[in-house]
Each structure stands twice: as structure tokens, then as C-alpha cells.
Chains A and B, each alone.
Chain A
């Protein structure tokens, strides 16, 4: 392992000994301290194991993170602002300008093209943009008071994923994988259901940084071979023959080598790899699902982008069922957009397209998990990296909204989160937070809390200090929890 820091902010090194044991600990299986005892045993996860590894009893075991890349508009989705329609076209003025928003005094307010209604027994507000999510309004725990650091995609994506605007730190999926390990020895702890593109901020959004490399996201492609190199290049019998020859030869080499345990680790990887070849395609294969379930997610849609997203959402459920801790789904990008939800113009047309592509599947996930009794132990997160400005340079039929992190919305469902609530409040224009300000660190802390992990104690020694997902910040938002 590299013992010195790779952070450009406050570099140092990973302290601690450099013994063979520490090498092993950080290498092949790559367990964190929480997971060490559980994973050394070569057996599948059980509830007692998790209890042994968490800081306190966990409410949830898994996370499905539906990443709404590009920044869906809060004032068009979960945060109704009738004032915007009333004042549409009026100049926002100096007082409404913020560094956390692409703003200037001469911009004008823009009303939402969609109507808001209250839904379910809770009366949760959801706009017409999301008819299916409105159907599960009572499951949604909306936070309307999110504040970010800079209204830029790269920074906010990295902040959302790694807790740092410059990145250079592990993704939250990697932290969860490191902290809790995988429930399934044939599958990784953190899986990314990508839709074949690299978001702003780069693949670092899904990386393990200074955590052992095995905690980086394993990417499942929407079509074709799901994972790099997972498709055996040989028939089963041929491969087994090859592996037998390999094992014989490798064991001799390990016996001669001074640092034999490292070689042993590499040999063991071939066993895991062999099993992954069959485990991954099975779990990725949604054709095993009933037609009814496929339809629920929208797999049969005529829109190819929706098909992709629906298939990935359905895979997400299969993966958490199989024991993958953290599954993330990215949105498909279309029309050469820089990022899917980034509607600086044509917000009406393209937010609708994004909604069509994603919202049915997200709602389906919640419904499907619930009917299987899995929603209690699975947290579904719906979040972009930012919201969008309640104002625009000029109101036109094709206008859009720009970057805004000075108050925006995201939501959770399941996993012990309260359904049908909306936490926090923005001002009457949705332009700033007036109540219960929350940031990404708070969300991270709260998610970890539900997984039975104290965010202040899930640490990794690096750069001369104990690093955390939440850095020096983070508060568990108790008000969101059952």
C-alpha cells in the first residue's frame, strides 16, 4: 500500500505499521477494521455478523442511490413556490444574488411550468413532473433545505459523492463497502449501474481513493457484457483445466517466494474471480423477472433511454437482494448533454424527458422493495448534485434554469426514514434556506447512521490523520428518522 498521502490539500501519509499483516489487511480482500472479523471467515453474511460489525444495531442493510446527475430543479419537483409564478418576469434584485447560485441582480423570476399538488395521506407536495413518484409520496422523506458549496457540477458531484469539493477522497459507496463489507463473497460491496458515460468530476466520483482498491465501484454496463472482463474467454471445462495448471504452478512459486503471502493473496483472487464470472451475470440478468415486474419498472418502454434506466433500476433491486451494500444508478445522457439534468435552456422539454426516463423506475423500486418486505432495510436515495435557479436571464418558451446550491431538495425512502415528510424550508422564491439548513455531510452522517455506523468512528488513517467521509462535519438529522 501507498503510505503517503495522495491528497493535495493536506498531504501526509497513512500511518501505522508496514507489516505483512497490514499489507494483507489492505490488499486482497481489502477489509476495513469494521469488516475484518466478518470477512476473514469464508462464508456469507448473516445478521449477527452485521450486528457484530456495526457500531449500533442497523436499521438498514443496503443503499440504492439514484443519482440525478446534472441538478434537477427543486422548484419544479418537490418545493412548490407559487410566488415564482406571481412574480414571473420581475427582476430579482441585488438581494437575491448569491455566490451559491449562478445569479445576477438583473435576472428575473421564473415560475414552474408544472403544477404542484399534494399527494397521499401525508399530503406531500410533488409536481406534475413526477406522476409516479407522486404515487409513492407517502414513502418519500424530502429534504428541502440542502446547501452546497459551489454551483459547479464537478465540485458538487465530488462533494455529493466524497464529501469534498476537490474529491481525492473515497466515494460514500466505497466507505460503506469498507465499513460493512459485502454480504456476498462473490459480489463486490459497491456496484455502479452506469449508463455508459463519465460524469463531471470524473470516475473519481465512484473511486476508493486511499481506501483499498477493492472498495471502488464495480461498474455494470446497461447493455452487453455487464462488467469488464467478466465474460469467460474459455468454456467452463477449459477454464477449469487452465486454472488447475495455474494453481499447481503458482503454489510452487509462492512456496519459493520470500513474500509468499502476497502471492497467496493473488492466487486466492483467482478463486473469487472464477465465482464472480457466474454470480455477476446471474444477478445482472433481469430476464429472470416476471413480465409484470419488468413492466412496473418500465423495461418495456419505447424510449430506449428509459429502457436502459429501468433495466438498471431492476438490477439494483436484484443486487441488494444478493447482498450488495451500495448500489448507485446514473442517468442516461442524451443529445450530447454535458450532464442529463443540466437544463440551462429547454427546461420544460428536457426535464420532462429526464423525468420520463427515470421517475417510473425509481417509484417502481420503492413499490417493488416494499412488496418484498425489503424497503425497511433498503434506503432509496434520490438526489442530484444541485438544484436550479428559481430565476433565469429572460423568460422565453425555451428558457432554462442555471446552477443553484443555495437551497435545493433531495429525498430518501425506506431504511427507517420517515415517509411523507418534508424537512427544512426555503424562502418564498426557493432561492435560499430559511429553516433547518442541511448539507451533504449531514445526509452522509444520517445514511451511515441508518446502516448502524457512527460517521465519526468510521475512519481510515491517511495523511497523518483519521479520515472520515464527513471530514470534520456532519450531523445525523434525527428529524428524518422513524
Chain B
């Protein structure tokens, strides 16, 4: 408190120029008048207001004295003439309009005016100054809000009925009930508790064997049985799925990016599986905070050896959920601003239960969040590149790669030896001359630059010496002019004579880490009868060892590299390509994919003009798995004549590219070939005779082969040998060399064992400068205001290092939020868990702990739980266990009349509420009860059943029952989410949802009555029932009740259902009448008791 007052004073004294020795009258103004003006008047009557109402400014002395349209607001010493008093008293104007101020405050104003209306605010303020000074005062007041205070050190209250409590939390609950003079409900029956626990912890109904076992165990030792059951359920792999789905609501989980084309959100499902693993392994929530905010930056990432992944790297996929626009802000201003708004909204609601995105256009109306805070945070989230990252555990392929490298070297050696051995017969003047004559038609068109150019010329009828001189001259002059042109126009940034990239370039993936080769590394053939495909020129080839390996080369921001064009010497195939990303709009649509059939060529990427708030444009060269926008919208993935099919989800491509040169330049054009390959031929004396000429050609070739065999090939040698290979002038078939073929076979076997890479859209800020953002005045993207340094919210100033960060500040932000110094995160999270267990949070608005949210029903309990949670390592399972073993949780759902009258909303938890199953739990129950459930965890999403497909938007239909998989594995397409689930309040996939709606409509009745899935599952269940060997209808109905409802039927029910099934049957053999039992199953599925639990 003292701190806040001190702060307030500093603010007061620094925003208004005034004498140091404030006299009493000034002090009166500062204490009694100014705060009222700020709080109640400035919104409409300050320089910062959009338009001062009645042209009246109350934020400086002159404004009050001059007054507005109606005359002076204040006449010093003359209360009667001061219009402001009339207005405050609601005599003429009624100000402030919402509510009259207390009489004491109005009296202060009167006293102040009577005493001369001393007002130190002597200068009119600019709108910015006015906003800042108003904001500082508001912030000081708003930062006193309950949720921003540190956790209190709470001791559990004493209660009269202490025996009731099982867990400490019960004392808080019971104490509140005692104060209200309300009794708790009686304990729930064992079967009710089992069903409740099963849904709360796993989202599935209890299995029949559990029903029997628990009933038996409970009758022996209820306490022990319960503890055992809870531990069993906490250990179930379905616990992770259940709690993952809760968090998926909060982070707006989606498998697609929505908008016009609903393109796939790369790696969403990996994130979904990451959550499931994390909750099953009970990873501390502090760690999950760190991973989701800054998992790519953690000094010690969490490697999951069992799953073979770097879990931490998956976390930042959190940012990428929700809707993404295609295009970029250079085309249409507003695109990146909307995207960052989505991140800020999800981040602040998920971790802080704060609505920071409200402050995009103006300071928050009620909470301690300024507009500057919003843009400070925008800088944090926009600094990194939003791009794909590999999540494979490091070193996954190391052993295989080392083996492949050894094999490649051995193959090189043996082929080298084989070719040199045959060089004497193959590479002779006469044999080449003969070959050239035989291939005359194809050589005839040879142009300058091609290897066959001199050969073709030698075939002409002209004199050999003359031809040779002409060739030499032609070569010399062309070469000289090209050398000069290249030197004049281009700055070589790398020719890869050494491994590595120019400063500021960053790379990713084994394709790059193991992709550098010196001149002449053989590319071993992975299919067919050839030994090698070609020799690789020096540089990076992501497929140098295996085209399964991923690779990315990320260029520094455009406009930061010298020259306005960068040209890259490239080749590639199978959906490798490059993209140019303005301000993280990676769904930008001009995309280039490389055509594998094209030869190596220079590709230019030209700087674009910056506007519309775009400050950075990042080009990336990527293989398919590291392409953040692959597969892009349908029809956009084109390479040569091939278009990616819309059904192709883009997984598991043998994608590759080669990068063999980089130049920078200002004007257009690309470097020309300087014809070095001919140097050995034309340097020295001209050939005297035809024979000599062909001999020279032969030597030209054999020299290349010799050097290659000795591991000393030049770039020119590589060209020559590749040409020879293409002309079939060198033995390269398996049958030519069985001993080499066996090595190639071995190579292929090892290579086939390399798994396809796994990747997610995540973040990468290596080599990236931190970004500050300009405020958008009134949120208008076309009106840029001052630059706001990147930072976290001002209300937490001094507690974290975000502003000091050399990078984005995400790591510092993550550290702060996962530390005990932040009062919000643990509170917000335990409240969410409480909600999932009890149906409603201690704060009923889990995404908003601000003024528009609800206040906690049990504030001390919330603090105690949060503290305990942190003490126990942020363990979700321990927290859940504590809650479900409480007496509070064990209450039945019966309500006394007193409780219904005095606390109808059950704020005090005097019973356990009747809860409807969530959409997923309804569908999963149908699967589980009918016996169709496939309990398999993880994997890519499955298309929901659709009556109509839309290939352009990739809305395809899957099997009616989605192969029996749980609903969490159905594809969540923003444009058309699974209809059955939507009908039961699946949340809007675009938006962070803290608490799901539970609505009730006829369409739900229609779905359960008529949806083919429900009918099919009824039949599926009936089919197994008639085989199960129950002998009487009673017996079978008992089985069905236990399975569907977790309880035995009463005698009355038995009679009722037996009559019903007989009425459904037209057969004399009721027990084998599948149709009749299917009808009965169908009715069970439609029971309210089936979709509600209590």
C-alpha cells in the first residue's frame, strides 16, 4: 500500500509543474479535486478525449476558468457562478452522467472554489500528455485490483464440524457454509461418485467391471476404495486426453487456419498430443507455461526420449492456433495487426485472465492495461519469426547418418577406382571421336557453354587448327567479358568453398547440418539400377545423404542485406521451395516450389518496399516439412506442371533443395557462367591435328575423373563428369560393378530407416533483432503513433526482465509468469482446474479476472490453493487429486430447500451440480458404451463425416464413426467443425474459450434421435449383446444399464424396459432379435441420464 501511495505521489508531482513547497490549498486540490476530475471527468473533458464534450476541458486550469460552450466552469471564490457545481449537483447539467457524486465530494468542490480554486495545472496539455498523465493516475488506482495483489498467506479457517473435512479445502468451503448457516449435501452414493469421477477425470463413462469392483470395494472400505479409484483414473492415459482438451478450449485449438481457404495449421495435432503426454506425465504447469511462451528458447529443452521429440519446441504452436489471414499487410493493411491481436488475446486470457486485446484502440476502460501495453506486448510476440520448427529429438538420425557417410565415401572410392581403371579404354581420342560421330544429331545444336560445344565444332568439315583457334578465341573473349560483368554487378556472398553461411543467416535441420559437400560428393541412387544419380557441386544439398532429411535456410531481413537483390543458385524438388514473409504473414501467397526436372539456376529475391507497418520481410528456403505454409491453399502448390492434390495433407515428402551460390546486387540479372570448365582444354597451345584435338578432349575428361577419384575434384570436374554420366559414357549400372552395387543396396537399406521429420509451426528468433511496434492511434492501422519499446504490462513493472531482453523478451516473460512472483498465473490455472472438477470456477469467469469478470466466491481458498499448487511443483495431478478427494466433491446433488432459497446458484457449494457432458464426452460415451471405442492415443486428425465435400477448402468426409476414435482426434476445421460436436456446444475454434456454453435445443434431440452415427452405434452394441450370452431380458437390461448409466436398474425399471423391448420385437426369439435390442440401446442413448451426470 505504501508503495502505491508513494508511486501515486511521484506521479502526481511529476506530471504537473508546481512549486516544490505545495501549500495547503494545493494539497487540497491534489487530494480532493484532481483525483475526482481524473476519474470522473477526463474521459470526455480532456485533451485526450476524442472530442471534448461541450468544448470543455477540465485537464488544466485555463480550461476550467474559460469553460465550454455554456460559460466558465469555475469562477474562483464564487461557487454560485461556477457551472461545475451546478452540474455536479445535477441542477442544470447532470455530471458525471452515470451517477451523481457523493455529497461530500461536491462539498469539497464548493470549498475549493470558495477558497480560490487553486489549481497548479497551468499548461494546456497535448493529447498525448493528457493521456499519459490520466493513465498514470488510473494505473495506480487500478493496480490495487484483487487479482493483481500477491497471494495472501492464508491459514485454513476453523470450522465447527471439523470431522466433515477430508481435505484442507473442505474447511474453506464448510466455513463459508457455516457462515451462511447452510448444511452441505449428504455424501453421494458410490455408483454416483464413480460415474462422476470417471467423467471428470477421463471424459469417459466407467467400465462395467469398474462399476462392480468399486461397489464391492466401497462396501469394504469406502475411503480406501475411493483413493484407489482416484489414483487409477489419474493414471489412465485418458486423463491426459481429457485435460488436454480443457486447455485446448483456452488456447483456441484448431487443425486449420480458417478464413477463406481453411489451410492446414501445420503441426496442430502434434501440439494436441504434446498436451496429452504432458498431462499424463504430470509435467509441471510452470514448465508448460515456459514451453508454450518460449519453448524454442529454453536453454535446456525437454527431450522426451520415449516419444522421440523435443517437447519444448512444440509449445509455441500455442501462438499459431486460431484464425490466420492469407496475404500480407503490404497488399492489405491490417493483416499482421489482426494476427498479433489474436496472439495477445489468447496469451493474456490463457495465462493471466486479462483482456489485453481490449487495449488495441484505447487504454482499457476498467483494467490496469494501457494501449501502450498492448503495443509493447505486440513487439514481444512479433519479434521472432513465426515459422516451422523441427520437433524431432536431437541426434535421432546420427548413427544412421554416420553410417551413410561412411558408405558414401566407400562408394566414391570404389567408383573412382573403377572409372580410373577403365579411363584408358573409355577416354581415348579415337573412341570419343567415334562416339561423337555416332551422336552427331544431338551434338549439332550444342551452344557455347555446353560441354558438347567443342565436340560439335570438331565434327565440322573445317580445318582443326582453325576451329581450335576460333574456339579458343570465342571462349577467351566470352569468358573475359562475363568475368568483368560478374565482377561489376555482383558481390559474392558465398560460393561455399567452405561450409557455413554469411552472417545473419540461420539454418535448421539435418538436411543442412549434414548437407554440405565439397565438390564431387556422389549422390547415391536410392532407386533403380544406377549406382549414383550425379555428382554434387560444392554447397548445401539437403538430400546429400537422404532426401528424407529436412532443411531450412532463413535469410536475414530484406533491406538489411547490402544491395536490393539477393540471388541464389538453386535446385530442388518435391515441394521444397522458398517463401517471402512480410511481418510474419507466412500465409503470404506468392510461393515458389522447385521443379525437380529443372536444372540448377540463379533465382533472385528482390527487396520490397516497406509500408503499412511492415518493417521486416524474411525470405526462407525450406523443404516441405519446414515450410510454415505447406500445404498452402489448394491450387497454390505448383511445381513445373505438377499441382499438389487437395487431398494431399503434405506429410512425408522426400523434399530437397540445393544451394550452391549466393550473390548480392543492385540491378537485375544473374551471374553468368564464366566457362571455367573449358580452361584445361584451351589454355596452352592450340591442337595441331584432329587426332590431337580429340586426344585433348579425352585428356580433358580423364583428368577430371582422375582428380575426382583422388578426392580432389574441381567444380569444373563435377560438371564434366555429370555430363559424361548423362551421356552414359561412364559405367554406372549395378550390373557393371556388383561389389559397389552391394554397397549401394546397403546404403538404401540404412537410408530407408530414416523416419520422416516431424515439425510444427513454432517460433525462431535466432539471429533476429528485437522489434518495437508503433502504436496505432485508436487502433487504426493507417494511423501510426509513437514507437513503443517491447515490454510486458506496465502494472508488473520492476518484476521481470522483458524490456532488458536482447531478444523478444519471451524467455524473460515465461520465466516471470512461471515464477512465484507473478500473482496471476497460478491463481488463473487452479481456477480452471477447479472449474473442470466442480463445473464452475471459484472465479466464474476463468478468462477474465478483471473488473468485468466475477469476483472469487472463496478468495482465500483460491490463494491457498494457488500457493499449495506452486509448492507441489505446479502438479496438475496432485491438484486434481486434492479436489476430488475432498468432502466437497463427494457431496451428492441433492439440494435442501434452505439452500435452494438462499443460494440458488450454489455459489457456496452446498451440493454437487448436475452437469451435462461436453460434446466430446457425449460422442465418446456413445462409442465406449456401444463397444466401438478405439482407445488408441495420438496421431493426425480424422476428417469428420460430411454429407458434402468441398475439395477447394479441403473439407473432406471421413468414416461415420471416425474409426471409433475419441472426439479429440476429429479434425477441427475452423470453417466447418465436426457437426455432431458443434450441436453440443463445441466452442468457436477461433476464440479462446474459458468456459463452454451449455445450451439446450431441439437440434440436440434430433441429433440423438436420428443421427446415423447414434443409430449405427445402437446397432453395433446390440450385435455384441445378442452374442454375449445373457439368458433373460432382465439380465441383459441389467448389463445395459450398468454399461450406459453406471448403475443397476430398479425393479420398476426392469419391468418397464422389458415390456418396451418386447414391444420393439416382432420375433418369437427376443434374446436374439438384434433389431429390438438396438431400439432399446437407442432409447438408452437418448436418456437425459445418459448425457447428464451428477
Contact = CB atoms under 8 A, between A and B. Distances in A.
Interface of A: 1-13, 15, 17-20, 26-28, 30, 99, 150-154, 166, 168, 196-198, 200-204, 207, 209, 212-214, 218, 221, 224-225, 227-234, 238-239, 241-242, 245-246, 248-250, 253-254, 257-259, 262-263, 265-267, 269-270, 272-274, 276-277, 336, 338, 463-464
Contacts of B974: 202
Interface in B1042-1094: 1053, 1056-1057, 1060, 1063-1064, 1079, 1082-1083, 1086-1089, 1091-1092, 1094
A245 B844 contact: no
Given A8-B346, A214-B999, A276-B1006, 16 more contacts: A1-B999, A13-B853, A198-B950, A214-B1002, A214-B1003, A225-B947, A229-B1003, A229-B1006, A229-B1011, A233-B1012, A245-B1056, A246-B1086, A257-B1092, A258-B911, A259-B914, A262-B914
Interface string B315-342: 0000000000101000011100010011
B358 interface: yes
B803 interface: no
A229 B895 CA distance: 36
Contacts of B1057: 245
A236 to B, nearest CB: 13
A218 B979 CA distance: 12
A225 B360 CA distance: 46
Interface in B45-80: none
B947 A221 contact: yes
A441 B355 CA distance: 27
B853 A4 contact: yes
A266 B1088 contact: yes
Interface stretch (B451-459, B474-482, B933-941, B986-994): B986-994
Contact of A11 (B349, B895, B953, B1089): B349
Given A12-B848, A213-B997, A245-B1057, A150 B894 contact: no
Considering the complex of A and B, which 5 residue pairs feature the smallest CB-CB distances, nearest first? Answer: A273-B1005, A12-B852, A464-B852, A272-B1002, A8-B345
Contacts of A228: 947, 979, 1003, 1006-1007, 1011
Interface string B992-1018: 111111111111111101111011000
A30 B1006 contact: no
A269 B1002 contact: yes
Given A246-B1087, A249-B1087, A3 B844 contact: yes
Contacts of A276: 1002, 1006
A147 to B, nearest CB: 16
A338 B260 contact: yes
Contacts of A224: 947
A18 B844 contact: yes
Contacts of B953: 198
B1088 A253 contact: yes
B12 interface: no
Interface in B889-904: 893-895, 904
A262 to B, nearest CB: 7
A11 B1010 contact: no
A442 B990 CA distance: 28
A222 to B, nearest CB: 10
A197 B951 CA distance: 10
16 contacts: A3-B844, A6-B992, A9-B341, A10-B355, A11-B349, A11-B357, A11-B358, A13-B848, A28-B1000, A203-B975, A238-B1079, A249-B1053, A253-B1087, A258-B894, A263-B1092, A266-B1000
A35 to B, nearest CB: 15
A334 B636 CA distance: 19
A154 B999 contact: no
Interface of B: 258-262, 325, 327, 332-334, 338, 341-342, 345-346, 349, 355, 357-358, 360, 366, 782, 844-848, 850, 852-854, 893-895, 904-905, 911, 913-914, 916, 947-948, 950-953, 955, 974-976, 979, 985, 987-988, 990-1007, 1009-1012, 1014-1015, 1053, 1056-1057, 1060, 1063-1064, 1079, 1082-1083, 1086-1089, 1091-1092, 1094
A17 B905 CA distance: 9
A4 B332 contact: no
Nearest to B646: A336
Contacts of B999: 1, 26-28, 30, 212-214
A126 to B, nearest CB: 31
A464 B844 CA distance: 15
Contact of A20 (B845, B904, B1004, B1086): B904
Interface centre among A207, A257, A336 (most CB of B within 10 A): A257
A200 B1064 contact: no
A9 B991 CA distance: 10
A188 B852 CA distance: 33
B249 to A, nearest CB: 11
Contacts of B1088: 250, 253-254, 263, 266-267
Contacts of A18: 844, 905
Given A4-B847, A13-B853, A213-B985, A197 B1015 contact: no
A255 to B, nearest CB: 11
Nearest to B948: A196
Given A2-B993, A212-B999, A273 B1009 contact: yes
Nearest to A225: B947
B981 to A, nearest CB: 13
B994 A4 contact: yes
Contact of B1015 (A11, A209, A233, A250): A233
B852 A463 contact: yes
B742 to A, nearest CB: 51
A17 B904 CA distance: 11
A273 B995 contact: no
Nearest to A200: B260
Contacts of B1001: 28, 30, 213-214, 269
Contacts of B1079: 234, 238, 242
Interface centre among B991, B1005, B1086 (most CB of A within 10 A): B1005
A99 B1006 contact: no
Contacts of A336: 951-952
Nearest to B1005: A273
Given A2-B996, A257-B1094, A265-B1000, A150 B332 contact: yes
B264 to A, nearest CB: 15
Given A20-B904, A230-B1006, A277-B1006, A9 B1000 contact: no
A201 B952 CA distance: 15
B852, B1056, B1064 — which one has the most chain A CB atoms within 10 A of its CB? B852
Nearest to A265: B1000
A4 B995 contact: yes
A245 B1094 contact: no
Nearest to A210: B997
Contact of B995 (A2, A154, A166, A253): A2
A5 B987 CA distance: 12
A8 B991 contact: yes
Contacts of B261: 338
A28 B997 CA distance: 12
B1084 to A, nearest CB: 9
A4 B848 contact: yes
Given A1-B999, A202-B974, A197 B1086 contact: no
Contacts of B894: 258
Contacts of A227: 1006
Contacts of B985: 213
A1 B1007 contact: no
B635 to A, nearest CB: 8
A5 B355 contact: yes
Given A154-B259, A277-B1006, A338 B952 contact: yes
Given A3-B845, A249-B1087, A269-B1001, A13 B914 contact: no
Q: Which of B782, B1014, B1087, B1091 has the most CB of A within 10 A?
A: B1087
Contacts of B979: 228
B991 A168 contact: yes
A206 B973 CA distance: 16
